[in-house]
Amino acid sequence: MPIKRTITSERVAIMRNIVFIVLCVIGLQASAQVVTLDSCRHMALSNNKEIQQASLGIEKANYQRKEAAAAYLPQFDLTAGYIYNSRRVSLVKEDQMLPTKSFNLQTGTYDYNLVIDPRTGAPLQVDGQYVPSTVALLPKSGLSYNIHNLMGGALTVTQPIYMGGKITAMNQITDLAQQLAREMRESKVEDVIYNVDAAYWQVVSLCAKQKLARSYVNLVEKLSSDVKAMVNEGVATHANQLAVDVKLNEANVDMTKVDNGVTLSRMLLAQLCGLPVNTMMTLADEGHDELDMTLAPTNYNLDEVYGKRHDVRSLELATKIYDQQVKVARSEMMPKLAAVAALHATNPNSYDGFENRFGAAFSVGATLRMPLWHWGGLSNKVKAAQVEANVKRLELDDAKEKIALQISQAAFSYQEAFKTWNATKANLAQADENLRIANLAFKEGMGTLDEVLTAQTAWLKANSEKIDAEINVKLTRVFLDKVMGNMAY
């Protein structure tokens, strides 16, 4: 029994170790995840805050477009109010006594009922005023109303009929503004893609230089070992050893700088992708000795380029918006006609003796506003809007001229970068051969140490220039696609 228990415990321990090793392997694979350029672009587009802000700008423009479209429809408004008054309202100051009339059969008219003076038989006058024989009493209390609590409300409907073209122009403006928001977002997207591509190829370049630096250190270390052996054999001097050691120290310093550069460039790429800066990523192109260097066509049609450039389309939309702004300004000089209907109610009831209850009524009408004379203020407003529209047209023409020059420069830079890359390949082949001959001559005693060091330095420079040329081809290609509106993402 003790033997079986020991065997079982050993198996459990072995299984635990296997599981631990598998988990470690999985963790290492996850930490060394290979990321492509398209993956970096996708992560950057998904996490970039400026693009998210531009997307919200599109959403805002959509709401503004719907707001402008609502101006075509009738507007319903409800207004209500309440007022407390400390005193009652009386239509008369005191009780009123009004004279009365009686029908006269002889004249067929109504005559005032007046007091007759028995002495003269004529109507009695006191202080020049006739004295009525009968009066109608209007008491003050009957003409006083309780308005302590005054309430009222109105439901109004307003239908614009003609607003001088302002509603149509505003709808055009908001529709163009929505398109402009989309173009601005696409411009942000292209900027992000360009920055990500530049950071990606910068990492690839520094990784290649890191590999080159290590190869150069190994090369100098091998030479240092050979020189040390030659010093021990008496065929080389300590000065030769010191010269090689200086080169070795310089190579180690350069390798440290490249290592730091790789780390910082990876952090920048991770930040652009919206990831933590310490995220470990292995790029799909960083281990390749040769990159895809197919020469892309550089011919173009300016009209087609203008149609694909988001900044040009943005300026065109802005010009159209300013043209509509002129119409909005001109609408202030036009008559404005609208139909109005209202249902209103008051308490006390103003329609029936001011009783303390609600009374309602309905009314329908129309409003017309016609500007007559504003001392040139409205016409000058239109002229100012026209000037702004002309300014935008000039900006558009200027942008097109600069874009034409920019495309030509980008095409020349790309072609020059490709030619430089071809030249660096030939230089590298020559540097490899020179290094081989210098090493062989040094081993055979036919060459000097300085010749080997010079050949090694030239080999390092040729490799570094080839790497720079490769990355420059990639970057100039990306920039050419950007200025020609051909960026694919």
> CA–CA separation, 396 vs 33, rounded Å?
46
Q: Are 266 and 203 in contact (CB under 8 A)?
A: yes
pLDDT of 24 strictly over 60: no
Higher pLDDT: 172 or 19? It is: 172
Q: Is the pLDDT of residue 18 over 70?
A: no
Residue 265's pLDDT band, with cuts at 50, 70 and 90, is very high
Q: Are 89 and 144 in contact (CB under 8 A)?
A: yes
Q: What is the pLDDT of residues 324-357, one digit of tens each?
A: 999 999 999 999 999 999 998 888 887 777 777 8
For residues 58 and 383, give the distance between their C-alpha atoms in angstroms, rounded to a whole number: 31
pLDDT at 99 (0 to 100): 86
**Residue 321: which pLDDT band, with cuts at 50, 70 and 90?**
very high
Among 93-102, 172-181, 255-264, 463-472, name the one with the lowest average pLDDT: 93-102
Q: Tens of pLDDT along 401-454? A: 999 999 999 999 999 999 999 999 899 999 999 999 998 888 887 888 888 889
**Radius of gyration in angstroms for the set of CA atoms belonging to the chain, rounded to a whole number:** 48
What pLDDT score was predicted for residue 443?
82
Write out the two tokens for 185. Answer: 């977002």
Residue 132 has pLDDT above 70, yes or no: yes
Structure tokens at 42: 């996708």
**Quick one: pLDDT at residue 174?**
96
As a whole number, the mean pLDDT across the chain is: 86
- For 237, the 3-state DSSP assignment is coil
The whole-number pLDDT of residue 136 equals 84
67 has a pLDDT exceeding 70: yes
Give mean pLDDT, residues 470-487: 90
Please say if the pLDDT value at position 7 is more than 60. no
Query: Quick one: pLDDT at residue 59?
Result: 96
The packing angle between helices 238-272 and 166-233, to 10°, is 160
pLDDT value, residue 16: 47
Q: Is the pTM of this model over 0.85?
A: no
pLDDT at 194: 93
Q: What's the mean pLDDT in 90-108?
A: 84
Q: What is the pLDDT of residues 368-402, one digit of tens each?
A: 999 999 998 999 999 999 999 999 999 999 999 99
Percent of the chain with pLDDT over 70: 93
DSSP letter for 72, please.
G
pLDDT tens per residue across span 303-313: 899 999 999 99
Q: Which long-range contacts (CB under 8 A, 24 or more apart) does 258-264 make?
A: 258/206, 258/209, 258/210, 258/213, 259/210, 261/206, 261/209, 262/203, 262/206, 262/207, 262/210
